[in-house]
Amino acid sequence: MDLLDDYLSGVRARGAVFCSTVSVPPWGMRFTEPAPLTLSAMLRGDAWLVPDAGEPVELPRGGIALVRARTPYTVADRPDSRPHVLVDGDDRCTLVGDPADPGDPADPMEPMEPVEPGRNWRVTGRTVGDAADGGTDLLVTAGYRVGGDLCRPLLDALPPITIVRPDTGLSALLDLIAAEVEHDEPGQQVVLDRFLDLLLVRALRTWFAHPGATPPPGYRALADPDIGHVLRRLHEEPARPWTVASLADEAGMSRTAFARRFSALVGRPPLAYLTDWRMALAADRLHAPGATVTAVAKEVGYADGFAFSAAFKRVRGISPSGHRAAGPRP
Q: Residue 109 pLDDT > 60, yes or no?
A: no
Predicted confidence (pLDDT) per residue in 41-60, tens digit: 998 889 999 999 889 999 99
Q: How far, in Å, CA of 244 to CA of 254, rounded?
A: 10
Q: CB within 8 A of 325, min separation 6: which ones?
A: none
Q: On the CB side of 233, how many CA atoms lie within 13 Å of its CA?
A: 17
In this structure, the strands spanning 28-31 and 85-88 are parallel
The overall pTM is greater than 0.85: no
pLDDT at 185 over 70: yes
Residue of 252, 265, 192 whose CA lies nearest to 226: 252
**pLDDT tens digits, 264-304:** 999 999 999 999 999 999 999 999 888 999 999 999 999 99
Q: Are 144 and 200 a contacting pair, CB within 8 Å?
A: yes
**Which pLDDT score, from 0 to 100, does residue 26 have?**
82
Structure letter (DSSP) for residue 160:
S
Phi, psi angles (nearest 5°) of residue 302: -110, 140
**Long-range Cβ pairs for the range 284-292 (8 Å, 24+):** 284/148, 284/149, 284/150, 284/328, 286/320, 286/323, 286/324, 287/148, 287/324, 287/327, 287/328, 291/324
Distance in angstroms (rounded) separating the CA atoms of residues 64 and 201: 12
List Cβ neighbours of 112 (8 Å cut-off, separation of 6 or more): 96, 97, 98, 99, 100
193-212 pLDDT, tens digit per residue, is 888 888 998 999 999 988 88
| Beta carbons of 59 and 40 less than 8 angstroms apart | yes
Distance (Å, rounded) from C-alpha 97 to C-alpha 95? 7
pLDDT in tens, 85-101: 887 765 566 767 654 44
**Residue 20 clears pLDDT 70, i.e. is over it:** no
